[in-house]
Structure 1
């Protein structure tokens, strides 16, 4: 069902007095649609019209499917079924007849925006007033619920005032909107005076301001949806994850990452990758993000979202929920995206193996309304992210620039190796510290570690520390939590157990070519040949994808005594002896 444009004929006060049924924010005639001089027309799409003529009726329902009225078709006669029973301030939504019975004899005042201090002073001189808040999509800049709350707050400051809420959606035509407003006010006021408020620049009274502040918080407290869009391989997901990490570090806002793979497994399970299903997936992401923003949270999403229409639909969802929509176009050129493609998706698309692939066989409509445009070519994550953070700070949403820290200076070709265990106080620190002992201050390989769960900012477990060689330096070591940013920055991730590897790949399946258990990687190095150049060796291990067997795990020694700690360290030393020579670009440096 689609509503017709504003009718040429508008109702007389007597006709409006007979209107009793409220449907979807519009006044519907009690007796019939489409009669000569009818105030409302009902138009159906051709396919629906054909079905309605066959059935002889059309049923009008609310957004949740509650039947409100049955219409004989095509005659247009209406049989009311029920009123919409829910919705904020339902008790204030009075028909003209009820409003006349309760509030006749007052001055009727249409209210389309929050009442200002000067307007309030004028209203106080009018005697008893009925403030008629025009609630409907697009009529008031502040939104229908906020307008009613603000009008109620203003009414409390007047000697004798009541509030009526009347559904009146904007028709995007000032003349039509003004004419309809006049006709509605005539129906409600009848012989009582109607007083229109002149707009002015005075501030709103304090109680009204409190309502507006609660319903429309300042940017730094407003719900926010950060929407990264761009081609596959553009770096949008990497920037989104880095942003999420920085916001978590700041700790001042709740943040939800609607990661594409996670959403696909849960919210959009069953959808294909057809154009229609991909757009449905984005709309679902948008709806969830809008609900997060409605409650003051920050949602971070990074779908390709190639079509402007769908992006605009998501923007409307967010703004209707009272949130801010911040669009980031990650505008990395197609050639660079193809160069980065580790999964070979672009090559498959060019061979015709993947239909409707964005950038190849399906278009990408570049946003014209992006808040920030970022090209990640030749830039670090933090450099590219800074472009986004600067504008966010300028707009007053967030200030995350202070969370950016200079990274450890390394040579451009240095291999970043990240060791992972559970709490980052036993096994992964031992791997990191022993590796540094073998390759101290190496310019071509950098070692670090993190834990999937547990402790943060803790030293190495004392039992493990006592099991390490005496010349191992651990004074500056502190445990830390594994994050997406650490995983993204690492060239190679080596875990203590198969369970740690599975934990990472469950959330980041695209990293399977660089995440291994330490035992799995040691076996793979021996299989492909440790004497190969490092880059070639890493490529061959990644392509062979050896099986991770639990038998190759490093058992957890935590709180299991001295012998368990010594056995753990010995096992790690044995595995590193097979791995580290292959990781150094300068073979002679490995002892």
Structure 2
């Protein structure tokens, strides 16, 4: 380890178990010359199970059983390093990094680099982007962080990417100290550049697409719906009813992992001892996490009485990039016992069934449930409504039927409201509002408005975008505005310039997920449909698709007249499809007028 005097002192003892990423750090030499746990200055303590604490030698292995290191008398003997994993060729030891990249500027990276940060790095000469990737460390997944960093390297004149497996330890000060030590050991006297705070800076289209894929909107994220409760509480009934609703909607794939069914097919041979019951729950959790990893929905309904095991399942799901939605079916024991058609509670009270949850084995009520449902005296639909309400509020599933607006003849029917969204509402969305109003003409049954996710207040249309307006089109009294919940609620359709704007809207207003599209996504869908107007909006609300980042309109702000013209042409081309699709009329101007 470097003896640089600028480094803060490290704690001598830390009650943190060594994870795989820590072992890789040790074995690869990222902490070199540390060769022992608990030595003065060492930031890592190895926590062992009680049965192994007095063992003279302990072998540390990865999840596949591959020996990584041997610990004897507190000394570490590296045996090998992890052989497989995505981007494994970028996981270089400090020694290898020094051989290949000595003399470069080292840049620690823990999140996707913004366009402003890329501009900041372009003048620094040859770089090593040191991606500190590990569980809990970046806001992106480790793979997402490496992909985003490689994309950043492609946008820089001369940048290499080196990945260090760096897991969070749940202690900000400790993580910072470890990070300083690791980066110092890689740089070894070469310049280290700390990136400026990204704030609300934009991402490039390529990096933005990687971030959107790695952090999908709630309605597109893998989802585990985990019902827990006493036997007879109604959890399986609610789980089946919810599964039916998801299948009827037809927008998500769904797999039911009912407790009894899993017992027959996945956990045959397990007993009902506490250990075997917990093994059964962990198996359910692992399968559910894999379903969520691929964007599916898993519906689980075991009793799952112990908080520790439920937390293990939550961790598996979240590590897989899914969302864990815990539903506590909190029907009281007395009601569950009254419903007991199989006589299980009676047998348990007579001592015929050992370790029966609620009688001879405890049920630990969850304190972290997303929703709590008591089914006493309620219909299935009524109780299920509590779950549907919370799922809709979170944006992960909206299963209520879309409210169809009653058809009203003649001019009393209100116009369709179209909301355009970009970042500051002075370039792309502003141009779209002004141009759409011109293309639609005076007789169209449409209203247009625009706003920015980080919108300026009452600013005019950008000068270069004004110059890119078609002949005869004037910005008039346009004034920018920030995006508000009221604007989203009042709109019939929200059209964003880029995928990341759509993600922002969905994160802030998940209940609007049926009506939020990128402009390019909506234009492509409208062009492929025979429907128009409100019928088109209803169809697209039912069969939503993932937007194609290639259809995004890149930000032209301060990038010169050519960028402004390119954005203007792309927006106008999309609008020439969208306006007729919403109005059932031919636009008043065609592409030749641009």
User: TM-score per shorter chain, which class?
Assistant: 0.5 to 0.7
In structure 1, the partner of 2:200 is 201
In structure 2, the partner of 1:138 is 136
In structure 1, the partner of 2:185 is 187
Q: In the alignment, which of 75, 96, 102 is matched to residue 94 of structure 2?
A: 96
The answer to whether the 8 Å contact 1:228/1:301 transfers is: yes
- 2:256 is paired with a residue of what secondary structure? strand
Deviations 1:271-323 (Å, cap 9, x if unpaired)? 11111211111111011100110011100000111111111111111000000
Range with greater deviation from structure 2 (362-371 or 284-293): 362-371
Deviations 1:484-529 (Å, cap 9, x if unpaired)? xxxxxxxxxxxxxxxxxxxxxxxxxxxxxxxxxxxxxxxxxxxxxx
Change (3 A) 1:249 1:66: same
Matching of residues 65-76 of structure 1 within 5 Å: 65-71=65-71, 73-74=72-73, 76=75
- 1:402 is paired with a residue of what secondary structure? coil
In structure 1, the partner of 2:383 is 384
- The answer on 1:239 being equivalent to 2:238 is yes
Distance in 2 between residues matched to 1:364 and 1:64, nearest whole Å: 34
The answer to whether the 8 Å contact 1:20/1:29 transfers is: no
Distance in 1 between residues matched to 2:28 and 2:110, nearest whole Å: 15
Q: In the alignment, which of 166, 175, 178 is matched to residue 177 of structure 1?
A: 175
TM (norm. structure 2) is 0.61
- 2:267 is paired with a residue of what secondary structure? coil
Offset, 1:340: 0.9
Offset, 1:127: 2.0
The answer to whether the 8 Å contact 1:155/1:162 transfers is: yes
The answer to whether the 8 Å contact 1:21/1:83 transfers is: yes
Q: In the alignment, which of 80, 83, 93 is matched to residue 82 of structure 1?
A: 80
Deviations 1:552-581 (Å, cap 9, x if unpaired)? xxxxxxxxxxxxxxxxxxxxxxxxxxxxxx
Q: In the alignment, which of 122, 126, 129 is matched to residue 128 of structure 1?
A: 126
In structure 2, the partner of 1:331 is 330
In structure 1, the partner of 2:51 is 47
In structure 2, the partner of 1:315 is 314
The answer to whether the 8 Å contact 2:28/2:93 transfers is: no
Distance in 2 between residues matched to 1:266 and 1:376, nearest whole Å: 29
The answer to whether the 8 Å contact 2:253/2:297 transfers is: yes
In structure 1, the partner of 2:490 is none
- 1:401 is paired with a residue of what secondary structure? coil
Distance in 2 between residues matched to 1:24 and 1:396, nearest whole Å: 43
In structure 2, the partner of 1:152 is 150
Distance in 2 between residues matched to 1:194 and 1:100, nearest whole Å: 14
Offset, 1:181: 1.1
* Structure 2 unmatched ranges of 5 or more: 1-8, 14-21, 404-594
Distance in 2 between residues matched to 1:197 and 1:30, nearest whole Å: 28
The answer to whether the 8 Å contact 1:249/1:403 transfers is: no
Change (3 A) 1:297 1:91: same
Distance in 1 between residues matched to 2:249 and 2:379, nearest whole Å: 21
The answer to whether the 8 Å contact 2:23/2:68 transfers is: no
What count of residue pairs does the alignment treat as equivalent? Answer: 385
Distance in 2 between residues matched to 1:301 and 1:217, nearest whole Å: 22
Matching of residues 529-544 of structure 1 within 5 Å: none
Matching of residues 277-426 of structure 1 within 5 Å: 277-402=276-401
Change (3 A) 1:360 1:70: closer
In structure 1, the partner of 2:213 is 214
Distance in 2 between residues matched to 1:233 and 1:326, nearest whole Å: 21
Deviations 1:328-347 (Å, cap 9, x if unpaired)? 11111222111111011111
Deviations 1:124-175 (Å, cap 9, x if unpaired)? 2222221101012211121211111111111111122111101211122222
Distance in 2 between residues matched to 1:403 and 1:266, nearest whole Å: 37
TM (norm. structure 1) is 0.61
Deviations 1:58-93 (Å, cap 9, x if unpaired)? 32222101123344x226262x43322101111111
Change (3 A) 1:26 1:204: farther
In structure 2, the partner of 1:424 is none
Distance in 1 between residues matched to 2:294 and 2:23, nearest whole Å: 35
In structure 2, the partner of 1:573 is none
Change (3 A) 1:25 1:257: farther
In structure 2, the partner of 1:62 is 62
**Root mean square deviation, CA, Å:** 2.5
Change (3 A) 1:328 1:44: closer
Distance in 2 between residues matched to 1:26 and 1:351, nearest whole Å: 61
Change (3 A) 1:346 1:9: closer
Distance in 1 between residues matched to 2:388 and 2:269, nearest whole Å: 36
Change (3 A) 1:287 1:25: farther
Distance in 2 between residues matched to 1:129 and 1:244, nearest whole Å: 51
In structure 1, the partner of 2:570 is none
Distance in 1 between residues matched to 2:192 and 2:70, nearest whole Å: 35
Distance in 2 between residues matched to 1:191 and 1:340, nearest whole Å: 72
In structure 1, the partner of 2:223 is 224
The answer to whether the 8 Å contact 2:141/2:214 transfers is: no
Offset, 1:205: 2.0
Distance in 1 between residues matched to 2:74 and 2:379, nearest whole Å: 67
Distance in 1 between residues matched to 2:384 and 2:86, nearest whole Å: 41
* Structure 1 unmatched ranges of 5 or more: 1-5, 11-18, 405-591
Change (3 A) 1:109 1:272: same
Distance in 1 between residues matched to 2:292 and 2:76, nearest whole Å: 42
Distance in 2 between residues matched to 1:91 and 1:193, nearest whole Å: 24
- 1:309 is paired with a residue of what secondary structure? helix
Q: In the alignment, which of 102, 105, 110 is matched to residue 103 of structure 2?
A: 105
Change (3 A) 1:333 1:154: same
- 1:149 is paired with a residue of what secondary structure? helix
Distance in 1 between residues matched to 2:286 and 2:315, nearest whole Å: 10
Change (3 A) 1:384 1:45: closer
